Structure formats: structure tokens, C-alpha cells
Structure 1
Amino acid sequence: MPEPKIITASREASMNYMNETLPVKESFDIIQRDMLIGGRMATFYFIDGFTKDEVMLKIMDSMFKVTEETMPADATQFARMCIPYVEVDVLGDFDQVLKNVLSGVTCLFIDGYESCIAIDCRTYPARSVEEPDKDKSLRGSRDGFVETIVFNTALLRRRIRDPHLTMQMLEVGESSRTDVAICYMSDRVDQKLLQTVSERIKNIQTNDLRMNQQTLAECMFKRKWYNPFPKFKFTERPDTAAACLFEGKVIILVDNSPSAMILPTSVLDIIEEANDYYFPTLTSVYLKFSRVLINLMTIFLTPLFLLFMQNLNWLPKIFAFVAVKDTVNIPLIFQLLMLEIAIDGLRLAALNTPSMLSTPLSVIAGLVMGEFSVKSGWFNSEVMLYMAFVAVANYTQPNFELGYALKFMRLQLLILTALFNWAGFAAGCLVILLSFCFNKTLSGRNYLNIKLN
């Protein structure tokens, strides 16, 4: 790695290097501002749109009051005596200067000073701190993480006023140079896990984090493509993240991402939601048990239905009413697979439909796929009922990735059952069990929190 270029006392040399490295003339938003301070020429570099105009106006007004007689001897004294602002730093090499300028920090070169003065009066465009749409709570706070990492760390600091709360800032990506914060309680965290997480992030060799946390997760722990179960838990709620910190977990925040990554992860962590923290113990245990039961039903309901329809003599008389009574024009397995794809099509259509049209689209889709598809003979009413339950049940847990993992398990179970009858169903159940038990996470443990070699 080449040695960083050191700043010299020549402002002209610094200007030449900055103008050669940055597209000052080509990019309208990279501003170079020359002025006279204390009888010396000075040059500001900053990004238009990132600087607080009112703050910079007051800082410049203070600088203009400096005379040649009161001009400090070096940059460190100038930063202490002449800049009435909190976040001021003195930089010694151009690599730090370029990083700060491109991050929105205002950098000042003064003739005769062998350092650059960085004034962090930046502000980022940000939306309001509001409750996330995906992870809502019946009780509790109504705030949520946003895309600015400093705001997100402040939301955690507001809840945890403990000196043991540590937030370690790292930088990932040669081009993007994305800020990544590792948050933990130093007196409660698993030190071995913390060391593993820190080393993996520091050793990431990538050009950029183009998909923010997802890219970071893939770089930290490369998953096996054939096991779809998630290895990380994400939350957009600062109260949930704070509760996990108190439990000794590690929280990873990535700039430009409105969610927190929680480590380590087990199956109980994945199926948790915010309401579990706000209700009494008995209620929260019941809700968690209900989610587990419903998730199991989303996997096994339609494969069991298909298995019994292929072996009607196995069906107990008390459940004889579930048998398909109408004419089956299309084999049940093809009906189930078609509906699996159709449900995903409706979900994608809802995501890309303007909010004002989402209700009419839902009504049309419900009528066409519900009543008319049964009457036309494409689908049987029993198949439509069970697939409707599966589609709704997928939303009983907040983890979107887990929902698709359960879907893939259900699909392979359906196909194996259709091809090999009961033997295929048993083999599919074994595949699900093995995928679940041997899903190794970053902590070296599986979903049952059992240590794997």
C-alpha cells in the first residue's frame, strides 16, 4: 500500500494536489473558496449541499477577526483559538483530507501551515425518524432507524446511558469507503464473538458496499446457496436493538441503511418481534409459540394435503370432509405450484403499484384468482383455501428472508411428495431438519444455539 502524501506548508502545492485529484472544475458541487485570513491566503474545500450555511457563516466571521499580529503559529493553535466550533480536527496527510472532503467535511488550507484543518459542520439529507412499516408494535416507541448512521447511534445512546456502550467506527470499501459502526456493551458482550466480527469486517476486501448491509453480510459470512435460512437478524427499531445490546449481542450499523444487523442469531431471535418485549411473559410466550406453530403449518399444510389426496385410504373418517369433491382438471401438484408463483406475482405487483391503486388491484386480483378461477375449473376450492392460509401466514413473522426460506422448504417438500409419495415426504422432512440444524451462523452455532465444529 503506497505511503500517504504528507501536507506541506505551501498552500499552492496543496491546491495543485487537491485540484489534480478532485474534479473541482468538472463537478459543480465540489467547491473551492479562496480568502484572506490573518494576512495569509487560505483555501476552503467542501461539498455543496453537505455544509450548514449558517454555521459556516459564523465560523468565517470569527476567522475574519483574526489579525496578522494574533495569527497563531501552527494549525493546531489556530483550530483551538480561532474556530469557535466543537467538531474540529487537524489532518496531516492528503488521504485523510480527501476522505473528509468527500464525506462532507469542510477542509481548510492556510499558507504556512503544515496541516489541514477539518471543520465538521456537515448535514446529510435525511427523512424523519418514524416507525418502520414492516416491524410495527402495538405498544412502545414509534421511532425507527434512518439512513444516517450518526442519527442511528444517537437513537441507541438515548436509550442506553451507560459508559460501557461502545461504538467502534470502521471503514469498508475502497471506492465507497462506507462507515460501519460496531455497537456493543463492553461488560456484557462475548469477547470472542466481538473479536471475530471486528476481524472479519477489517479484513473485507471489496471495492464498495453497493447494497449496504446485504453486501457486508455476504462479505462477512459467505452462505451456502442451497441453505436459504437467514444467518443474520435485521431490525429497524432502535428499542429492539437496545434490548439486544443489553442481552450482550453485537449490533452492526451501516451508513445509508435504515436497519441494524444483530449478532449472534438463533431461531428464537429470528422469530422474535417488538411486541415480545412489551407484553407480559405469558403473553409473549404464547405469541412466540403461535408464530412457531403457524410457521410449521406454512411448511407442512399443503404437502400433507397433497400426501393424503394421493392416499385417500390414510385419511381418518373424521377428516373426510377435507377431500377434494369437485372434478380435478389439473393435477393438484400443478395447481399448488401455479398458486405459489401467482402469490409471488401478486406480492411483486403490490410492491410496484402506487398506493392509490393498491386497493382496486387487490379487489380485482381477489375476484379473478378467487371466485372465477375456481368456477372456470383451473383450481379447486380446497387448494385455493389452503394456499390462501399459507399466503397470509407468511406475514405472521417479521423476517422477510425467513418467509422465503420456509417457502423453498415447502416447494421441495411438495415436489418430492408428488414424485415419490410418502417416501418423498419423509425425505423432504429430513432435508428440512438437516437444513435447519446445520445452518451454521457467524458465531459458530446453529439455529438451536448448539456449537458446531
Structure 2
Amino acid sequence: MSRQEKQQDNVPQKISSSLLENLVYLRKQFDGSMDFIIRQFNIEGTKAALITIDNLIDKQTIAESILNPIRRAELSHLNGMEKMKEIRDNILTTVDQEQMVEFDTLLTKLMSGFAMLAIDGCDFMLSIGVQSFAYRSISEPSNEVVQRGSRESFVEPYVINISMIRRRMKTPKLKFERMQIQSESKTDVCLCYLRDKVSPQILKQLKNNISKIKLETVMASGYIAPFIERRGLFNGVGVSERPDTVCGKISEGRIAIIVDGTPNVLIVPHLFIENFQTFDDYATRPFFATFTRWLKVFAFFLSIFLPGFYVASGTFHPEFLPQVLLTKVVQAQAETPFSLMIECIMIHIIYEILREAGLRVPKPLGHAVSIVGGLVIGEAAVQSGLVGPPTLMVIALTAISSYVVPSLYEQTAILRLIFIIIGGTLGFWGITLGFCAILISLCSESIYKIPFSAPLSPFNLKSMRDVAIRASWKILRKDVEKIQNMPGSNVKKK
């Protein structure tokens, strides 16, 4: 199909008063697709049709709430237009009804599970909500596992996710606003926010960014994330599969983006420090939550810098290692054919290959891959003299540490490899410069005019009660800080 023909197909066409013309146009659009169904019948001498997409509708609802009431009605004295208005206003008992006058909106509704009632002599169709389709039941979160809290996670249909949020926040100030991505898939996107908490400036900018998205298809929330965040190594858009987590973010003035067809909800704006905050932090005792939060920060830096520090110490700065440890590293290095940097890079890449294989293979084989990779290959590599035991231990420790903050795993995997190379070529000076480059990048970035590094930079002492420590709810409840009020924010106040 030529570009000109595609443009012609995309031009909205008005629905005709001729039933035959409308049906011919719709049949042409679907080109004999097996799930496209037209049920033609007569209403007191007037031709009519019910148009549906199979497997997206509830056939029992159609029979009981649409066809049976129409057949029992006395409409013989009315023309086509009058019959449609009488059916719409007085006969049908369904709640979700809408008048369709253009084919582009009609097709979108039709493929979303709505039934279309068409009557000869009427220049519009009636969209009737009869959706019913198979979807995965609500289950426990697979990634954001908590010890205390809800065991519910989002599912693929966005209408179910909306109900899960509404059930937790019973306030009329909670608003859901539907948008649609301009793509072949016509994917629905729902913005969720509290009207009295959200910043109008951030909301307007977000809507503008979403409206500019031009993609052929949108199959997941990850498709639109690059269009609504700033460029950088670290994510400026949060992701969650937990309704309670999303509700907590919304209460701080953030906006949740629910994409139809994906169980992960996007949250904007998202700050760097939020990667170290989990739902369990707010459901456990403050002293333990503070301990685990600092543990996550330590594990994050360990997963990035430990291999580079190990390579730099063994290559350029042996004086930084204890004598006993230095002796073991030197002995292991003498028995292996590669340098420390090559050893670490090689083990790091092998580990990433095994991790990727464990994710992609069927679940029954996943444990086998982990056992073979972790035990057999690791032991064989040491016994054969390809790598030393200290190197294997360092990479294993950093790999485990990287899972303590799963939302930053992608960044830690790349940074770890970069600092291994820097440590093996430039030593501690290179690692120091690399660390400063990361700090400068974090402190110079902003997301929707809010500093990405807030409230650490610019520093805000008041915010430390939920950053450096996790204060008691008796303290936190007094003043819930809105995201637009963060220090350094250029967002206009209401």
C-alpha cells in the first residue's frame, strides 16, 4: 500500500445514513477477518445490524441487554432515526453507551470490546459496552516482593488496574484521565493523579510529551518511557507493579501512567534516592528500615566499585591490600594466564550470559542453568587455572550485591564493567575521576524541572527524615512533602 493510500485510509469518514454503505465500508476495513461479526436483523420492518469483534464481548449480555429488549419493544410507528433514539433513551439498560458519528472512533471502540448498533436511516451508530475477554488473574508481585503488605500486583487490562487504585484511595480528588497513543495499536494510556496534590505544570508537560509520541505499535510501558524522561544513565521514570506503592507515590503529587496491556505502571517524576526506598521500609520498625536503607546504599556502591578497586589494587596499588590478601592475589595471578582486568571482564561477561540464559529458558530449566553456571563452570574455571579464586569471589560478591537494588541493576552492570576497565588502565585516579563524573551527571540532571538528585543536592535537612533515616510515622504524617516542593525545583507553585 502506498503512502498516499495509507493517508486516505486514516482520514476520518462520517457514518452514512445508509446501513448498506456502512457495512460495506466496515467489511472492507477488516477484509474478511474471522473475528469480525455482523448480525443483521429487522426492527419492525427497518433493517438493522449489530457489529462486534468475537472473543472481546459477552454474548449473554448482548442477548439479554440488547437484542431481547429491542425485539420486545413497539417501534413500528417510528422511522430509522426515531427508532435509534428511542432505543438509546428508553429501551437499552446498559450503562456504557456513546453515539458514534465517525468511523475512526467507531473502529477503536469496536476493537476495544464494544458492540455497535446500526439502523438503516440513522446517520450514527450506538456504541454499547459489552466487553468480556480473558485476562490473567491478580497474583502476587514477582519482582517487588515484600514481607509485609499487599500480595496484589497489577495485571494487563488497564481497567482492572484502575479499579485496584480506586479501591485503595476512596477520594473524589483522585482523577483518571485517558489518552491514546497515535499508533497502529491505538493503545490506551491512563494518567492517574490527585487533583489537589499534582502540579499543573508537570501534568501539562507530561500530556504534551505523550501526545507527541509517534510509534507504529505500543506493546508495553517501556515503549513510551524514553519519550517522557530526560536522557541519562539513570532512569527518570519509576516503574512499579504494586498498587500500594503507586498510591503512595500519587499521594506525594506524582503522576502514575497506566498503559493498557502491561502490568507495570510508570511513575513521574522519579528521583534517584527513590531507588533505595521500598514498601517494606514503611511497614517495618524505623530503626530496622534505616539499617536496610543504608545496607542498600552500601550494596549499590559495592556492586559498582569493588571489582574496579580490586583490579586497581592488584595492578597499580598493592600497598592498599593487607599483606595476607596481597600474597593470595599474587599467588593466584601467577597461576593464571590472564591479567586481573581480563579475568574480571571475562567472569563478568560469563555471569551476564548465565543470568540472561536463566531468564530466557523455560522455568524447569532455569534452576539447572543456575546450578551448572554457578557450581560446575565456576569450579572448573578455578581448577583449570583460567581464573583465580579471589577474582571469582569478588565478582560473585558484586553480583549478589547488585540484586539488593534491583531497579538499578542495568546501570550497575554497565558501570561495573566500565570501572573494571578504568581500574585496570588508570588505577585509583581513574576510578576517582569516574566517580566524580557520575556525581556531576546526577547533580546536573533534572526531571520535569525537579533536580534528579534531590533532596541530597540541593540538600534539604527536613527531607533527611525519609532519606538518611526512616523516621516514625508519628513524624512523617505531620507534613507529606509534595514532589514539586523539593529543594531546587523550578516548578511553579499553585
Q: For this structure pair, what is the TM-score category when the shorter chain's length is used for normalisation? A: over 0.9
The size of the alignment, in residue pairs, is 445
- Name 2:75's counterpart in structure 1: 68
- Distance in 1 separating the partners of 2:158 and 2:247: 15
Asked if the contact 1:184/1:245 (under 8 Å) is kept, the reply is yes
Range with greater deviation from structure 2 (253-262 or 276-285)? 276-285
Task: Give 1:238 deviation, angstroms.
Answer: 0.6
2:182 pairs with 1:173: yes
1:289-328 equivalences in 2 (<5 Å): 289-310=294-315, 311-316=317-322, 323-326=329-332, 327-328=334-335
2:206 to 197, 208, 219: 197
Whole-angstrom distance in 1 between the partners of 2:287 and 2:89: 58
Contact kept in structure 1, 2:309 and 2:428, CA below 8 Å: no
Q: Which moved more, 1:124-133 or 1:270-279?
A: 270-279
* Structure 2 residue identity aligned to 1:250: I
Change (3 A) 1:300 1:419: same
Give the Cα–Cα distance (whole angstroms) in 1 for the partners of residues 375 and 229 of structure 2. 44
Provide the residue aligned with 1:93 in structure 2: 102
Unaligned runs of 5+ in 2: 1-6, 459-487
Q: How many angstroms does 1:206 deviate by?
A: 3.0
User: What TM-score, normalized by structure 1, do the two folds share?
Assistant: 0.92
CA contact (8 A) 1:76 1:90 kept: no
2: CA distance, partners of 1:396 / 1:135: 11
1:365 to 370, 373, 380: 373
Matched, 1:411 2:420: no
| Distance (whole Å) between structure 2 residues aligned to residue 89 and residue 182 of structure 1 | 22
Match of 1:164 in 2: 173
Match of residue 43, structure 2, among 34, 37, 40:
37
Deviation at 1:286, TM superposition (A): 1.9
Q: 1:313 to 1:269 in 2, by over 3 A?
A: closer
Q: What is the alpha-carbon distance in structure 1 between the residues aligned to residue 355 and residue 215 of structure 2?
A: 33
Q: 1:357 and 1:15, CA in 2 relative to 1: closer, same or farther beyond 3 A?
A: closer
- Give me the whole-angstrom Cα distance separating, in 1, the residues matched to 2:30 and 2:76: 34
Amino acid at match of 2:377: M
For residues 28-427 of structure 1, what are the structure 2 equivalents within 5 Å?
Answer: 28-59=34-65, 60-69=67-76, 73=82, 75-210=84-219, 212-221=220-229, 223=231, 227-310=232-315, 311-316=317-322, 323-326=329-332, 327-329=334-336, 330-399=338-407, 402-427=408-433
Q: Return closer, same or farther for 1:37/1:108 CA change in 2, 3 Å cut-off.
A: same
CA deviation profile, 1:292-324 (whole Å, cap 9, x unmatched): 111011111111112221221233558657744
- CA offsets per residue over residues 149-171 of structure 1, 9 Å max, x none? 10000100110110000000000
Identical-pair percentage: 25
* Structure 1 residue 408 displacement after superposition: 1.6
Change (3 A) 1:398 1:415: closer
Cα distance in 2, alignment partners of residues 156 and 113 from structure 1: 40
CA 92–408 in structure 1, closer or farther in 2 if over 3 Å, else same = same
Q: Check whether the contact 1:236–1:260 (CA below 8 A) recurs between aligned residues.
A: yes
> Cα distance, 1:3 vs. partner?
6.6
CA contact (8 A) 2:358 2:367 kept: no
Q: How many angstroms apart in 1 are the aligned matches of 2:84 and 2:46? A: 13
CA distance in 2 between partners of 1:173 and 1:415 (Å): 43
After TM superposition, list the pairs within 5 Å mapping 1:432-447 onto structure 2.
432-447=438-453
Q: Is the 8 A contact 1:37 1:66 kept in 2?
A: no
| TM-score scaled by length of structure 2 | 0.85
Would you say the 8 A contact 2:236–2:452 is kept in 1? no
Deviation for aligned residue 1:75 = 3.0
